[in-house]
Structure 1
Amino acid sequence: MSISWIYLIAAILFEVSGTTCMKLSQGFTKLVPSILIFVFYALCLSCLTIALKRIEVSVAYSVWAGLGTVIIAIVGIIWFRESATLIKLSSIALIVVGVIGINASE
């Protein structure tokens, strides 16, 4: 695994953290999560930009968006007790298949 992929994984984790803080901020009414939104997104975009030095933008962005979506959906289901319907879980699986397909085309 190259360093660019490590930066991409970090970008995904920072993006998920920032999105989780959006929920925890309760519409910017909680100070710490509100500040952390911007910290995590700044780190996310910095890592994503560095990853793009060596990874094709179509691959990097697809992996970032797809896996970020999957992870935050899982966080929503587990942490925020959101519904886990068959259609939601099937759609998450399709996102994973799409990310694998884009990586296979590289």
Structure 2
Amino acid sequence: MTTAWLFLVVAIGAEVLGTSLLPRTDGFRRTGPTVAVLGLYGVALYCLSLALRALDVGVAYAVWAGVGTAAIAAIGMLILHEPRSASKVLGIGLVVAGVVALNLGGLG
């Protein structure tokens, strides 16, 4: 894995963790969770910017947004006890398929 992809993985992880903590901020009224969320979003954007030194913005952003969206949807259902449905699972699969297709297209 190249350094750019490693930065992208860290960016995705920080964004997913920050978004997962967002409900704990209580509308940004709780200081600790708010600082954590803002810090994690800062790390995510910084690492994304480092990844963009070597990766095409279209591919990097699609992977970042797609994997992050799929991960948050899965975390919502599995950890945050949000309702599950076949359409949500199908949607996650389609997001992942789209990210794979963009990556394959970017290799040519």
- Please, what TM-score do these two structures have when normalized by structure 1? 0.96
Look up the SS of the partner of 2:82 in the other structure.
coil
SS at match of 2:53: coil
SS across alignment from 1:84: coil
Is the aligned partner of 1:14 residue 2:14? Answer: yes
**Deviation per residue, 1:65-104 (Å, 9 max, x gap):** 0000001111111111001100111001000000000000
RMSD: 0.8
Structure 2 unaligned residues grouped into runs of 5+: none
- 2:4 aligned residue: 4
**Deviation per residue, 1:11-66 (Å, 9 max, x gap):** 00000011112112121232211111110000000000000000000000000000
- For residues 78 and 35 of structure 2, the distance between their equivalents in structure 1, rounded to whole angstroms, comes to 24
* Identity rate, percent: 37
Inter-partner Cα distance in structure 2 for 1:102 and 1:39: 29
- 1:35 is aligned to 35
